Structure 1
Amino acid sequence: MTDSAAIRTYWDAAADGFDTEPDHGLRQEATRAAWATCLSSWIPKTAADLLDVGCGTGSLSCLLAGAGHRVTGVDLAPRMVDRARAKLAAAGLPGSFLVGDAMDPPTGEATFDVVLSRHLVWTLPNPAAALREWVARLRPGGTLILVEGRWRQAGQFAPYVPGAESLPWNGGVSAQDLTDTVRPLVAGLRLEHLSHRPQLWGGPVTDERYALIAHL
């Protein structure tokens, strides 16, 4: 099994360089605009209460707050959360960011119109339980958005932390496997394949990348 302290340490150490990846930092205008377009097509147009689980340095949270949504971000790594807070503050945008485990976000009894997670479920020791927890945080008619994939490096390199090879979805999760897990929890869902959209990633990719958009 993975150790949560080791995972926290890993992502804390990654925080300084995290935004250098085009799809993490969204520093290029074309990449930022591509993500803004996707988010606006997945999320209700009216202002929503939104939980960004595994928010990292807050790049998607920043886009969403800029679009008028009320954002709460959660990440296990304190240094990621620090950067998310600083990013929204620098942009003059409101947002609440909490340090906590994505398996059980520390948001108390709060519920949300939207729960969003990007590139996170592969890191979780029990992703099915996390998905049930996230769905439970949604209001009636709410939306669950999962941006995921099956990464090209899966199985090619040593585990990123000790024990990661035992994770159920180490290296990513296929659209079919994620669909099979989410479908019993929701009223309906759809897939949007994203591998063919290089502007989202800062260049072409050859692995499987997609968004799953589900509704209660």
Structure 2
Amino acid sequence: MTISAAVSAYWDAAAPRFDEEPDHGLRAGETRDAWARLLNSWLPSGPAAGPLDVLDVGCGTGSLSLLLAEAGHRVTGVDLSPRMVVHARAKLAAAGRAARFLVGDAARPPTGDDRYDVLLSRHLLWTLPDPHAALREWAALLRPGGTLVLVEGRWRESGEGGGTPYVPGAGALPWAGGVGAGDLTAALRPLVTDLRVEHLSADATLWGRAVADERYALIATVATTTTVATA
């Protein structure tokens, strides 16, 4: 089994219970509202912004995609796990909201020539075999002036919070166990014109519990089209 197939199988198996985590399912009203407020604060706003084209990479069961759709944005979600995508489609349909969900590698989203105003990724980079290449790819998928929103952290275990160990060989991943804000800032700086970090660990409402590890959001602007390296 290839690493890609193993990763897909892992998240397929996790899909039925994925939303039981408070920050995954956003079932508690206060947690859901907290994420909705954050997303709204990170996205471009004002009369000129209007509805945005948003790409949610590693969308999982679509909880953040739903919040974005409810805010009036045009959402495309991508996930390597077919079962995650099934859950995401069902979640949006049950809420009466429209979004497009695709099965594919979030590091190289199968979106063709489409370009986006915002690209969102949450808790994904630690799972990727080449996160630097993914960052270049994501920057290139944004329109000039587009916004890149990365919600990341350093997890206690490579299983992102404990539980079932991740796929064999995960310890060799460049950012196994997560990536600190300093390292991610350094990796992203050459691709963007401005960048800020918001630390999120202290807000227990976001996670449904108090957390002691590093959790943050990095919000950056891409000024011009970025060329993806082929090497």
Q: TM-score, normalised by structure 2?
A: 0.91
Q: Which residue of 1 aligns with 2:43?
A: 43
Q: Secondary structure at the match of 1:15?
A: helix
Question: Helix, strand or coil for the counterpart of 2:19?
Answer: helix
Task: Give the secondary structure class of the aligned counterpart of 2:16.
Answer: coil
**1:153, CA displacement in angstroms?**
2.4
Q: Paired residue for 1:153?
A: 157
Question: Corresponding residue for 1:72?
Answer: 76
Contact 1:159 1:165 (8 Å CA) reproduced: no
| Distance apart, 1:184 and its partner CA | 0.5
Amino acid in structure 2 at the alignment position of 1:75? D
SS in 2 for 1:147: strand
Deviates more, 1:155-164 or 1:4-13: 155-164
CA deviations 1:99-156 (Å, max 9, x no partner) are 0001110000000000000000000000000000000000000000000000122599
What is the alpha-carbon distance in structure 2 between the residues aligned to residue 71 and residue 44 of structure 1?
Answer: 15
Aligned letter for 2:148? L
Secondary structure of 2:179's match?
coil
State the alpha-carbon separation in 1 of the partners of residues 140 and 18 from structure 2. 30
Larger CA deviation: 45-54 vs 204-213: 45-54
Where structure 2 has 5 or more consecutive residues not aligned to the other structure, the ranges are 223-231
Any conservation in 1 of the 2:60–2:79 contact (CA below 8 Å)?
A: yes
Instruction: Tell me, in whole angstroms, the C-alpha distance in 1 between the residues paired with 2:164 and 2:99.
Output: 36
- In 2, Cα distance between equivalents of 1:154 and 1:84: 24
1:113-132 pair list within 5 angstroms? 113-132=117-136
* 2:85 aligned partner: 81
* CA positional deviation for 1:158: 8.3
Gaps of 5+ in 1: none
SS in 1 for 2:91: helix
The superposition leaves residues 65-99 of structure 1 with CA deviations (integer Å, 9 ceiling, x where unpaired) of 00000000000000000000000000000100000
| Aligned-residue offset at 1:27 | 0.2
The answer as to 2:167 corresponding to 1:164 is: no
SS class of match (2:78): strand
CA distance in 2: counterparts of 1:140 and 1:154, whole angstroms: 34
* Shift in Å, 1:157: 8.6
Task: Kindly tell me the number of residue pairs found equivalent between the two proteins.
Answer: 216
Within a 5 Å distance, the mapping from 1:193-212 to structure 2 comes to 193-212=199-218
Structure 1 residue 44, shift from structure 2 partner: 1.8
1:191 aligns with 2:197: yes
Q: Is the 8 A contact 2:55 2:119 kept in 1?
A: yes
Match of 1:25 in 2: 25
Q: How far is 1:203 from its partner?
A: 1.0
What corresponds to 2:137 in structure 1?
133
Partner of 1:174: 180
Query: RMSD of the alignment, in Å?
Result: 1.6
Partners in 1 of 2:181 and 2:221 — Cα distance?
17
